[in-house]
Amino acid sequence: MRHFILATLFVIGTIGLTQAQITITADDFPEVGDTLFSAVDNLPTNIDVQPTPGQHSWDFTSLQAPFTRRQIVRTAVQGPAFNLFPGADLLMETGATGDGYYNVENGRFELIGFSGTDPLGIGLEVATPFSPPYLERRAPLNFFDVNQMESALLVAFDPDDLPIDLFSQLPISPDSLRVRVAINRLDAVDGYGTLTIPGGIYDVLREKRTEIREVRMDAKLPFVGWNDVTDIVIELVNFPTLTDQLGKDTITTYNFYSNEAKEPIAIVTSDEDGQNVTSVEFKANDIVNNVQDLSRLKPGVYAFPNPAIVNVRFEFSNLPKGKYYLKIYNILGVEVWHKAYDIDNNYIEKVEISQLRKGTYLYSLTNEKGKTVMTKRLVVVRP
């Protein structure tokens, strides 16, 4: 009933909009042989999604990213876990964590299974299906469309595979563990117009997605069977990588689709109320530095914009948890700036560099053992 009321209010609020809008068809889905290019701004500024329904003109030209992510669409049979997902048509990499197996049929682009590092980031290797398949895109897609989607994921594993003993404080140890992920999503195509990103202007439809995701953990105890231990783990276990993922969360995204590209033109992720933008993934048109395959993103740090004028963003990617030291040197090898960071996987920071003279510098990242992770060039210019 709640979703029916939301859909009704959405339609009423958009009555009177008469200008023609585009339609997204199944021909706009990724196909075998396609290469998709995207970039991610994890510190976006001046991004206004204009959340009210109707016609808009969006300007996202302020987006910046350190490198382009290249994603090649392959046949599913090329995947190492294809035997577990024999109904899959396509294989698409899902970042540095693994592979997604997709089925494309009757206007539905569905993720039917996943193989790789577990989605919770614990570090386990898993291969598991979505039940029912997770519907990523549908066609035809038109202004006014409202749809609901549900899916679930179940990941089982041995407690001995975890990097820590979750239940050391309890008098009994479980035989097995499993993580349950329940997904409920409402999609509403509530906007249309033009979207400008670096390197392109596109006619788009905007689909607002509100996804409620609940993650629970069960333990199989001797003589008792399966029991929900989520609250116990959150309260007693000092393992943020896992506990931060448990519980219920609401994720709001705005997806901008065009019939001129296979990639979404932009995917804007915001906070729960949809007002504050936290990250933007966008179609990479003119970001030519550091083009990388999604599955081959190496641990390191990337500076952008580069050349830089007043500020530079340093994006740390795929780093094992630990302390790191970032330093900037001039061409004579003299250190002119440094800072220490505690990082677990990814982090981004904007650094003010107006004190540096115009010229060429090197920035270097070392770990707590003094080993150099990466050294690259930074160019500073002045207006």
CATH number of residue 358's parent domain: 2.60.40.2550
In a domain, 288, yes or no: no
Is 50 exceeded by the pLDDT of residue 254?
yes
Q: Are residues 116 and 174 part of one domain? A: yes
Mean pLDDT for all residues in the chain: 86
**Cis peptide upstream of residue 140 (ω within 30 degrees of 0):** yes
Q: Which range marks the domain in which residue 346 is found?
A: 298-380
pLDDT (0 to 100) of residue 289 = 54
- At residue 264, what are phi and psi to the nearest 5 degrees? -60, 140
* Overall average pLDDT of the 47-60 stretch: 94
The whole-number pLDDT of residue 296 equals: 57
Q: Is the pLDDT of residue 18 over 50?
A: no
Same domain, 211 and 310: no
pLDDT above 70 for 319: yes
How far apart, in Å, do the first and last CA atoms of the chain sit? 58
Residue with tokens 């995917």: 267
| Calpha distance 88→22 (Å, rounded) | 29
- Asked if residue 91 and residue 224 are part of one domain, the reply reads yes
Structure confidence by residue, pLDDT tens digits, 154-210: 988 888 777 666 667 666 678 888 999 999 999 999 999 999 999 899 999 999 999
Torsion, Cα of 236, 241, 246, 248 (10° steps): 130
Kindly state whether residues 306 and 181 are assigned to the same domain: no
Whether 319 is in a domain gets the answer yes
Does a structural domain hold residue 293? no
**Are residues 219 and 306 part of one domain?**
no
Task: Note whether residue 290 is domain-resident.
Answer: no
The pLDDT, as a whole number, for residue 9 is: 47
As given in the structure block, the two tokens for residue 32 are 């075998």
Q: For residues 372-378, give the mean pLDDT.
A: 90
Q: What is the pLDDT of residue 383?
A: 72
Q: Which residues contact 308 (CB under 8 A, 6 or more apart)?
A: 353, 378, 379, 380, 381
Nearest to 69 by CA among 260, 288, 262: 288
Bridge partners (DSSP) of residue 104 are: 109
Nearest in space to 301 (alpha carbons), one of 345, 257, 331, 270: 345
Between 175 and 263, the higher pLDDT residue? 263
- Best-predicted range by mean pLDDT among 13-27, 82-96, 255-269? 255-269
Kindly give the pairing relationship between strand 335-352 and strand 69-72: unpaired
356 with 271, same domain: the answer is no
CB within 8 A of 258, min separation 6: which ones?
22, 24, 28, 195, 202, 203, 204, 205, 265
Q: Give the per-residue pLDDT at 124.
A: 78
Of 1-5, 223-227, 368-372, the range with the lowest mean pLDDT is 1-5
Segment of 5-9, 123-127, 191-195, 267-271 carrying the highest mean pLDDT: 191-195
Q: Is the pLDDT of residue 123 over 80?
A: no
> For position 67, what pLDDT does the model report?
79
Final residue before a domain boundary, out of 283, 316, 341 = 283
Distance of alpha carbon 47 from alpha carbon 279, whole angstroms: 10
Question: How many CB atoms sit inside 10 A of residue 298's CB?
Answer: 10
Question: What is the pLDDT averaged over residues 136-162?
Answer: 91
Are 183 and 148 part of one and the same domain? yes
Average pLDDT over residues 213-232: 89
Residues 248 and 356 in one domain: no
264 pLDDT band, cuts 50/70/90, is very high
Evaluate the omega torsion of the peptide bond into residue 305 and state whether it is cis, within 30 degrees of 0.
yes
Indicate whether 8 pLDDT > 90.
Answer: no
pLDDT at 240: 73
Q: Which residue has the higher pLDDT, 293 or 272?
A: 272
Shared domain for 237 and 327, answered yes or no, is: no
Least confident of 164-168, 192-196, 237-241, 265-269: 164-168
pLDDT of res. 286: 66
- Return d(Cα 303, Cα 28) in angstroms, integer: 33
Beta carbons of 104 and 76 less than 8 angstroms apart: no
For the chain, percent of residues with pLDDT exceeding 90: 51
Do 62 and 178 reside in the same domain of the chain? Answer: yes
- Between strands 292-293 and 69-72, the pairing is parallel
Same domain flag for 190 and 262: yes
- Judged by phi (left if over 0) then psi (alpha if -120 to 50, else beta), residue 77 lies in alpha
Cis before 163 (ω within 30): no
The pair of three-digit structure tokens given for residue 234, joined into one six-digit string: 């959150």
Does residue 274 belong to any structural domain of this protein?
yes
Work out the percent of the chain whose per-residue pLDDT is above 70: 86
pLDDT at 243 over 90: no
Residues near 106 by Cβ (< 8 Å), separated by ≥ 6?
none
Helix (H) or strand (E) holding 342: strand 335-352
Q: Are 182 and 152 in contact (CB under 8 A)?
A: yes
Spatial distance between the Cα atoms of 194 and 40, rounded to a whole number of angstroms: 20
On whether both 11 and 100 belong to a single domain, the answer is: yes
pLDDT at 269: 94
Residue 318 pLDDT exceeds 60: yes
Domains held by the chain: number:
2
Confidence check: pLDDT of 91 > 90: yes
Predicted TM-score (pTM) of this structure = 0.82
Task: Assess contact for 167 and 219: CB atoms under 8 A.
Answer: yes
Q: Is the pLDDT of residue 252 over 80?
A: yes
